[in-house]
Each structure stands twice: as structure tokens, then as C-alpha cells.
């Protein structure tokens, strides 16, 4: 199923200023689109408007069929909430069965629970479950109605790291051939799950493309920074300008991934001082300070704090934005 959304919606929470989302995107049949952005960028509001939870201007179509005037339960979507939204007074099986009453051709709840590895929880109640177990039950409930499109709102945000990693792998398998929109602020999750990524800021989609497009060729300094690249303003960093603008413009910003920067080469482009070393899982993030800017580098062999090191910026890895 191909999903197209082009909408504008304004939401005002009690005691808060109005926030407007004005965005458009398209998801092809079997494709997973991750909507990535910082907190407050409008990701959840966009997803909820597509689902039919908020009034909006514009259109939502599925294979060319307008869904704007349909209530959420008639749009053919499965929705997985960030807080799971399980009914505490219903058993796990009853939660999964809940939406079945409104749809034909649904899936067997016990079969789904078994596929997701939680068949033994069928008679338990949500308050007795762990976060990971609740998430699997919520996913089973969404899948039970055989949705045309899955909408997922940061379903891994509240989980501990090992559980999140396990569920992320499972979700990648579940969504492999499912048309889906997945909201997250976690760039690792977006990169692992998505066929394409839409980056949001202040209610607008500011870049959309494959994970390589977004992470390697950010459209703006904001996208570069949020996806973990170095974003260096050339005019404000004269000590780096020669190294970074030799084959490109001499103003604006240049982005380069930390894993692409080479550290320790005696014939490197420029020298700086090690300001910080932070262990990150299987590698180290080294921050090298220059007079006007800092550059992050990943390395398995970190230098000492205060050491002077040389950095090399491979020309093919530089992206001007």
C-alpha cells in the first residue's frame, strides 16, 4: 500500500502556545519511513494527524483513496503508542483481541503472541509486564487487524539499552515487508529500521532520503548535527579552512562523519589538541579542539588528553551544506 500525506494541523495543549505541523511525505508499498527529529519537532503530532486523531487541512491517501473523512478505526492503520496504551483491566490476549471486533480477516491473537515470543503472557495483565513485554503485546495488537500501514510512535524510547537493541532487531524483521511510518528521535534506530528517513524541525520536513543520503549528505547544519556529523562553519574556523575548503566553497558549512576523519597521521591536514575522550560501546569518541571549533573523531586507539594530534579529512567524505 502506498501512503501519501500532505497536511497542515495546529495543536494547542492546555496552557501552551499553538504548534503547527505543515509537512508532506510519501511511503511506497513495503517501505519503512522513519520520521527523525528532536523532541518538540512535531513528529508525534504529524503521525497522529495521519492516523486521524487530529483535524487537519490537506490530504491523506492510501493507494489513491482519500482517508481524510474517515475515523481512525476505518483508515486501515495499526498504531503502536509510545506508552503502549494497553488496557490494564484486560488480559494480554484480550488486549490483542480488542481491535478485532471492528475488522474482518483478522489474525489469531495467540498465533501473534507466539510469533513475538510472548505466548506465555496471554493470561497475564499489563501492570505485571516489563516494558519490553508490553511493547511486544502492543505490537501484536496493532498487527492483529492486518493493517495496510503500521504507524509507530517511538515504541522503544522507554526501554533499557539491551531490551531496545533486541526489540529493534525484531522490529526490523517485522517491518521488513510492511508499509510503515516510524517516529523516533534515536538516529541509531532510524538508521537500522528505515528504508528512507524524513528529518523534521519546527513542524516541517527539512530533508528526506535514504539513510546514506541523510547521514552522509545532510541538507543543513541542523541535519548534520542531529545525525551525529561534524558541522563546521568555514568562515568561523580559519585554522581548518584550508583543510576543508580546498576542493569546495570557502564559506558555508562542511559536514563530515566522525568515523571518516583520520586521526594520528603524521602527514595529516591540520593539528589540534585532544580535549575529551569518551568511550562509546566498541570505540572511542575523541574531541579535538582548534581555536574556533571542535572536531569529533572515532578511534580504537585514543590519544591522551592534552596531546597534540594531526587530523586528515578525506576529500570524498566532505559534504558542503
**Has residue 247 got a pLDDT over 70?**
no
Q: CATH 3.40.50.300 region(s) of the chain?
A: 3-223
**pLDDT value, residue 44:** 92
Q: What pTM does this model have?
A: 0.90
Residue 64 to residue 67: CA distance in whole angstroms = 9
**Has residue 248 got a pLDDT over 80?**
no
Q: What is the maximum alpha-carbon separation in the chain?
A: 69
**Has residue 88 got a pLDDT over 70?**
yes
> Per-residue b/e over 204-232, b at no fewer than 16 CB within 10 Å?
bbbbbbebeebbbbbbbbbbbebbbbbbb
**pLDDT value, residue 178:** 87
CATH 2.40.50.140 describes domain 230-320: yes
**Has residue 45 got a pLDDT over 70?**
yes
C-alpha cell at 119: 505466548
**pLDDT value, residue 84:** 84
Q: How many CB atoms lie within 10 A of CB 65?
A: 12
For residue range 155-196, what is the model confidence (pLDDT) as tens digits?
Answer: 887 777 788 888 888 888 888 888 999 999 999 999 989 999
Any idea which fold 3-223 has? Rossmann fold (3.40.50)
**pLDDT value, residue 287:** 97
φ/ψ of residue 245, rounded to 5: -115, 15
- How do strand 196-201 and strand 204-209 relate by DSSP bridges? antiparallel
Q: Where are the alpha helices (DSSP H) in the chain?
A: 43-51, 92-97, 109-115, 131-143, 161-174, 187-193, 211-216, 221-226, 238-245
> Per-residue b/e over 8-41, b at no fewer than 16 CB within 10 Å?
ebebeeeeeeebebbbbbebeeebbbbbbbeeeb
Residue 181 to residue 306: CA distance in whole angstroms = 45
**pLDDT value, residue 177:** 83
**pLDDT value, residue 16:** 63
Task: Average the pLDDT over each of 8-22, 120-134, 230-244, 292-306 and give the range with the smallest value.
Answer: 8-22
Q: CATH 2.40.50.140 region(s) of the chain?
A: 230-320
For residue range 185-234, what is the model confidence (pLDDT) as tens digits?
Answer: 999 999 989 999 999 999 999 999 999 999 999 999 999 999 999 999 88
Task: Average the pLDDT over each of 123-127, 135-139, 237-241, 253-257 and give the range with the smallest value.
Answer: 237-241
C-alpha cell at 145: 487487524
pLDDT band at 244 (very low <50, low <70, confident <90, very high): confident
Among the listed residues 95, 80, 192, the one whose alpha carbon sits nearest the alpha carbon of residue 135: 80
Distances from the Cα of 246 to the Cα of 57, 132, 237, 297, angstroms = 47, 50, 14, 20
Task: Average the pLDDT over each of 100-114, 136-150, 214-228, 304-318 and give the range with the smallest value.
Answer: 100-114
Residues contacting 21, CB < 8 A, separation 6+: 7, 8, 9, 10, 11, 42, 45, 46, 49, 203, 204
Q: 99 and 75 in contact (C-beta within 8 Å)?
A: no
**Has residue 122 got a pLDDT over 90?**
yes
Higher pLDDT, 11 or 88: 88
For residue range 5-15, what is the model confidence (pLDDT) as tens digits?
Answer: 998 888 776 66
C-alpha cell at 291: 581555536
Residue 310 to residue 295: CA distance in whole angstroms = 11
Amino acid at each position: 500500500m502506498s501512503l501519501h500525506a500532505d497536511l497542515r494541523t495546529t495543536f494547542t495543549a492546555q496552557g501552551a502556545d499553538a504548534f503547527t505541523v505543515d509537512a508532506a511525505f510519501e511511503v511506497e508499498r513495503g517501505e519503512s519511513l522513519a520520521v527523525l527529529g528532536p523532541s518538540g519537532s512535531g513528529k508525534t503530532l504529524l503521525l497522529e494527524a495521519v492516523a486521524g486523531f487530529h483535524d487537519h487541512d490537506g490530504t491523506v491517501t492510501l493507494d489513491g483513496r482519500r482517508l481524510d473523512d474517515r475515523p481512525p478505526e476505518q483508515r486501515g492503520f495499526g498504531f503502536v503508542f509510545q506508552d503502549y496504551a494497553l488496557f490494564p483491566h484486560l488480559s494480554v490476549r484480550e488486549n490483542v483481541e480488542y481491535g478485532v471486533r471492528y475488522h474482518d480477516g483478522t489474525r489469531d491473537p495467540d498465533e501473534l503472541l507466539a510469533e513475538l515470543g510472548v505466548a506465555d503472557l496471554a493470561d497475564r495483565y499489563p501492570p505485571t509486564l516489563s516494558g519490553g513485554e508490553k511493547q511486544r503485546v502492543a505490537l501484536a495488537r496493532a498487527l492483529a487487524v492486518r493493517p495496510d500501514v503500521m504507524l509507530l510512535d517511538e515504541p522503544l524510547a522507554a526501554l533499557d539499552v539491551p531490551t531496545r537493541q533486541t526489540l529493534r532487531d525484531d522490529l526490523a524483521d517485522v517491518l521488513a515487508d510492511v508499509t510503515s511510518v516510524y517516529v523516533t528521535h534515536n538516529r541509531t534506530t532510524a538508521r537500522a529500521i528505515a528504508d528512507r528517513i524524513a528529518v523534521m524541525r519546527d513542524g516541517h520536513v527539512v530533508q528526506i532520503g535514504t539513510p546514506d543520503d541523510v547521514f552522509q549528505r545532510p541538507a543543513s547544519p541542523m541535519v548534520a548535527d542531529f545525525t551525529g556529523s561534524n558541522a563546521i562553519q568555514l568562515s568561523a574556523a580559519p585554522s581548518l579552512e584550508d583543510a576543508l575548503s580546498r576542493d569546495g566553497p570557502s564559506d558555508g558549512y562542511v559536514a563530515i562523519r566522525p568515523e571518516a576523519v583520520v586521526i594520528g597521521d603524521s602527514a595529516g591536514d591540520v593539528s589540534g589538541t585532544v580535549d575529551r575522550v569518551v568511550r562509546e560501546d566498541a570505540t572511542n569518541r575523541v574531541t579535538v579542539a582548534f581555536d574556533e571549533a571542535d572536531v569529533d573523531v572515532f578511534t580504537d586507539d585514543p590519544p591522551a588528553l592534552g596531546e597534540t594530534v594531526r587530523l586528515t579529512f578525506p576529500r570524498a567524505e566532505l559534504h558542503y551544506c
